[in-house]
Amino acid sequence: MLSHATRAALFIVAAASFVGGCSSADSGAATSERMQSPFSSTASDTASTTTTSSTTSSTTTPSTTTSSSTTTTVVTTTPYVVPVVDVAAAGWGTTHAGYSATDIFIGCGAEVVTPVNGDVIEVRTVDRWDASIDNPATRGGRSVAVLGDDGVRYYVAHLDTIDVVQGARVRAGDPIATVGRTGRTSACHVHFAISPPCPGPEWSVRRGVIWPSAYLDAWAAGEQRSPVDEVDRWVAGHPDACADAMADPFATDAASP
């Protein structure tokens, strides 16, 4: 069976005219006072009436707090899946032009799913990209961003139809859209990006800050590899990234819809 990277290479050759709606010029600054990951640190309550145990594993692991009156279970992580239904038909490479992201090549109309449990925080239903302007905030065309229960933002772009609304609660594997070629691209594919969430509209962090391909490879193999630690390290190394990204003159154009 061809590897995902080999399949991606074949797709790229077939789509020689692909101009990379995702290959916007590198903006230099990117990301966030990210929302605190539910399991980036573990708190312990030492009060005599409360016992807390928290474990992080490669699969969904609840943290259970027991007190004299109630027992509460809190999800501390999420399952992970490749964000397309037909993984065997998809291909992706290990690099991307200009910044850290992955293009998942698969046919137009293929079903796109959320890679994690989480909440839909951005939905762009209108393709506002105009080649004569080439606004970097609209190059993704129709798009969806999900804030995972792990505190990480997952962004898919160049979509055709969109099947979710902003604010919706989703679970890993739920259908959210179909593959298209909206925005700055000429080949059907999904732009997939991993980043911390920013507190306001911006495009240069959202488009991706760490390389997703290793995580896609793991999820395709059934391994539950989390990007949380890598995103946390990126945030620590770029403390002003979100502020810089939100100060970009095109930042407000990234807002829904």
- Mean pLDDT score of the chain, rounded to an integer? 79
In CATH terms, the fold of domain 4-35+78-254 is Glucose Permease (Domain IIA) (2.70.70)
CA distance 65 to 74: 8
| Cα separation, 252 vs 124, whole angstroms | 13
Is the model more confident about 222 or about 40?
222
- Of the two residues 138 and 35, the one the predictor is more confident about is 138
Residues 16-73: tens digit of each pLDDT: 443 444 443 333 333 333 333 333 333 333 333 333 333 333 344 443 333 344 444 4
Rounded distance, CA 152 to CA 112, Å?
18
The H-or-E segment that residue 7 falls in is helix 4-14
The tokens for 157 are 């772009």
| Predicted local distance difference test score (pLDDT) of residue 210 | 97
The stretch 161-176 carries a mean pLDDT of: 98
Domains of the chain, by residue range, sit at: 4-35+78-254, 42-76
Q: Where are the beta strands (DSSP E) in 98-240?
A: 102-105, 111-113, 118-124, 142-148, 153-162, 169-170, 175-179, 189-195
Please check whether residue 114 is in contact with residue 190, taking contact to mean a CB–CB distance below 8 angstroms.
Answer: no
Residue 12: predicted pLDDT: 44
Rg (CA), the chain: 19
